[in-house]
Structure 1
Amino acid sequence: MGHCYSRNISTVEDNDGDIPAGAAQLPNHTDNNHRTSIPNSPAASSSSEVNPYTISPFQSPLPAGVAPSPARTPGRKFKWPFPPPSPAKPIMAALRRRRGTAPQPRDGPIPEESEEVDDHGRGGGSGGGGGERLDKNFGFSKNFEGKYELGKEVGRGHFGHTCWAKAKKGKIKGQTVAVKIIAKAKMTSALSIEDVRREVKLLKALSGHRHMVKFYDVFEDAENVFVVMELCEGGELLDRILARGGRYPEADAKRILVQILSATAFFHLQGVVHRDLKPENFLFTSKNEDAVLKVIDFGLSDFSRFDQRLNDVVGSAYYVAPEVLHRNYSTEADIWSIGVISYILLCGSRPFYGRTESAIFRCVLRANPNFEDLPWPSISPIAKEFVKRLLNKDHRKRMTAAQALAHPWLRDENPGLLLDFSIYKLVKSYIRASPFRRAALKSLSKAIPEEELVFLKAQFMLLEPEDGALYLRNFTTALTRYATDAMIESRLPDILNLMQPLAHRKLDFEEFCAAAVSVYQLEALEEWEQIATIAFDDFEREGSRAISVQELAEEMSLGPNAHPLLKDWIRSSDGKLSFLGYAKFLHGVTVRSSSSRPIR
């Protein structure tokens, strides 16, 4: 059912498996944990040693000057004369060296760089430390059997199994619950122990949202950790998709996606990246058609600060984002996964497919989804535009979860909008920018299409303006209102320290639009050239001035080597930015790669 569609895909095949020309059905329950889990690279023992698996051969889509992820992902070192090798190849080769010739199970995790491999597929060498005895005492309550009567198993994964249980005492006495049982014997590294602690923290912090599985309690004994949660008896979203023949009508798909995006917008606001969003990790509370959908399984999730990016490659291969394979990502990776789910809901096929991890990864990096074949001609253009904006290979051009809820395709579902933390990052950059750049952004904001203004108006009102304007206290109060323990762990409120210039000024709605507009997301729109033209005309009238090459380079934090390039952006007649220069100045200098090509 899922082709790997690309007009030039022959240039990116590999020896580990070809991309099939035929169709493949959505995974059944025996093949639904197609998961990759790769630890961070340990530090090199000496300057002469180089770990070949830590070097990404793919050109980064990030702009010049953006720091790599906090785990020190090396930059591109070589110019490849042939199509770059699959990132899965060295991973699988390392696995074969450690385990002899035994084949890798298709539904198992793929370890990479560690000295030892634990049952999670993560390295034990860097965690346990030379045979040290690991402390597996979490400090959780010990009386699980006194409070719950354990029943039959209802699910199983790589990180534990889940059983039905009934509460014998307490506030939920007599209520049936789900208990995730994680064996301590499988915690063979300090990293795997920390994973369990983090999952419990996340479940506790995020439990209050309507579309998050409820957390009740956590226990432990000498052998296991018991995480007590809400029992969702309606089954997986994957089962519903298969029961419907592989796809949903648009109206039903919208109801599903609003619930998924609502949960995602909530935990993204808390600084949490799920990293394994897929149909198997969404459960319905009951068998009813209108049952509430809940997101589960935060075993691979992590906290992500606003000024840092993650770099360990985890997730499920069919849903993994390109920037995850580049080892430089944040919450946008979850949006890509939701784009894959949206594509499946609407047409019943995967947008990217391969017989091996290598082929899947290559398809994700290089191929474009097919929007021409059946049933896409019968699907509304606005629905296709929605999916394309989620599956943009340039993560900066993807909608956020909060933006997606405000998209015209979902607006008639009347979803409750949530504060978007990306607004904070954009406003922070605006108030710290030069007057020249602020003038350029003000002109751009006057050309924003009405459909895009809906989202900005909603965000402005969520910040609760005073007398039609926003002050620093509005941003502080709004973030506090939505804060949970997860947000504190992610240290997102730290951004308020960088927004101090706002303490001495205010933003009315017009200037808020200039501050909160995303150039990259406007570039993703089909009408970008028209928007840029209108903005440039206003800039010429209101904010343009003569600027030297040296001054422009300083504005863009570029060195003297960039002067020849920037010279072409300035008109010789009056020394002002040309239309090309204005558009490039807004965008910033970016090393573009094939992985950031737009979907047509």
Structure 2
Amino acid sequence: MAATQSFQAVESRVLDAAPEGAVRGGSYAQRFLYCHHGYDVRKPRSLLTHALKSGSGTAGAVAVTAEREVSLAERARQAAAEAKQNADSGEGCVDLGYPRNLLELYNVGKMLGKGGNGVVNLVHHKVTGETFACKTLPKKIQEEAGRVSEQKVQRHLEAVKSEIEVMRRLRGTLNVAYLEQVFEDEDNVHIIMEHCRGGELLHTIGQKNYSEQTVASIMRAVLRTLAQCHSHHILHLDVKPGNFMLLDESDTAPLKAIDFGLSRPFDPKDVPLSDVGLEGTPWYMAPEMLRSEVTPACDVWAAGVMVYQLLTGYFPFDDKKNPMRPSVNAIWKSILVDKLNFKKPVWDDISDDAKDFVKQLLSKDPKDRPTAKEALKHPWLSGGSVEDRFSPKAKGLKSEVVQRIQRYGQSSVVKRTLLDSLVSEMLESNTEEVHKMCPPSPGVVTTPDCNEALRSLKQHLELAGEGQPVDYATMERLLVTLGYRLHPEEVEHLMETMDVGRHGRVAISQFLASQMDWPAVQKYHKDCFQSAARRAFNNMDVDGDGVVSSDELCNVLRNRLPADEVAPAMEEAMREVETCGCATGSGKVDFQGFMSLLKCGSQDSLMDLSMYDEKLSSCGSSASLDGLLAELERSIREGTLHNSDEWKELERTVKDRNLHNTAEWKELERSVKGASALSHLFGPSASSGSQAVY
């Protein structure tokens, strides 16, 4: 029974872990309670202070007085007694460990949609007024036949947790609707995510005239999502237009993947999978999926069906005898037997490159299909995204900043925290020695001393923040100056990828960590890297015993992350330690294991920047951008920016591109023409003296 299991879970996690007196060090229960609830089980009657973070990133402290504080063991007994009572009465409550204060932080608004097992509502943050989409999924599934088996209930709960974990893993990319928070109550799980106001892809574009170039733009975003999923060893299994939405109603709105309800992790050595079943939409199922041979190639097939549908308005395989009331068996038979026919009239005005692209993705043999990453290199997709249409031919770090931040976001929160610490340590190293070992290719970015573009960006940020962390608005202005076109939500998500603690400011070390090619850093600056890693390790090893315990790692995370992010980050860290085999026999991590943890999960398959949106605007990253930025910096210092030749050149370019009426340009124009110091363009007043606390 679920209730009995819930009671046993409470006993094992709490009671057994926290008897009166000594507590077993390093146990899972101790980590769970200390990380997730803030209870120090070694001091059960101590005065507890909780850092409570709201959705807006503000933090407060709640002090619990000693008189009101009950010992942890007593709390555990109470919780266990309640769970046992529920078990005896058959009213078991499933607790997945998510916060239960949704209604304290958000007002629930109108319903946006309903389907499958869940419902989506608009929610408004009570403090910031921001709007999000809230996907509500029941913990218990209902069937007409009556009682649902315990095994099916557990599968459903695992699917819900898997969907949330997939969205956490993909948080760093701009191709996926951003996961904001997760809550639960007695009956449901509530997933707060980015609100895509532009509507479902198929419905929206069906109301407009669109071209092959538009479809290419859409498919580039879809395949980027799939390439990232597959690199993380995740199968999507439900690729279709209905699972992609536009961020807003503009013609250049970014496309976001919104639904990962059928997704599941996989181990490459176990594919093809034979236990997936025939869930999903029949028209998008690959031939081998019908034979219970599921691989990442099934997602690529579904993408092929999607592009066929967007180009022609029809499915490639369907019930041809009764298309208005199709039979599932007839659809599946068509998938297995019928061949593609490009001689139909609907293909007359479609390019040969588009036909070749469709043909490759819909190859019946999965071995003949390109991977999602390979499909991104097809000629038909060249310049297919809104951003890519305006991108220059020349490449360099300054045209890759946003892509590099997204790539950085594919690393775990723990790894990003460690890399930030490493950069701080490396900046104190002997720069002359570092420069001697710089990589031969200028396209490989290691340290600011080895890359002129990175050094220039570092100097900009140091000047803007006077050596202190800079706020999000300052970073946004820098990205605009570099030529990036981003929606406000996307700027915030990129900043939070670097600012893992959500302090509202980005430290220089965090930005640098996001831009570096870390495998190259380890290769070309091995001694410097190892020395910095040793100092970072020693800082974590508080008791100096030569190993980092789970408590010490948890302390680092508690000092760096919002309260509601600590437990998921800790669980992710434990998985990484297990995957990499970094732990000693006692479950702790020594320095050698620490180095393995830094190297493990580099995931070469995620390093390719073409998998991430560039987001460059029409006047971004031109061949003369380096010189333009240098002159802009000089003009800003002298307070003559609005009269400079460089500014006038930028004005002409904007007008030539018909961008002079955009809100972004007008805002920048007002800032520049009223500026007399750097702070007017690159940040808040230097006299504010505010800085993030780390």
Structure 1 length-normalised TM: 0.48
More helix by share: 2
Determine which structure has more spread, i.e. the larger CA radius of gyration: 2
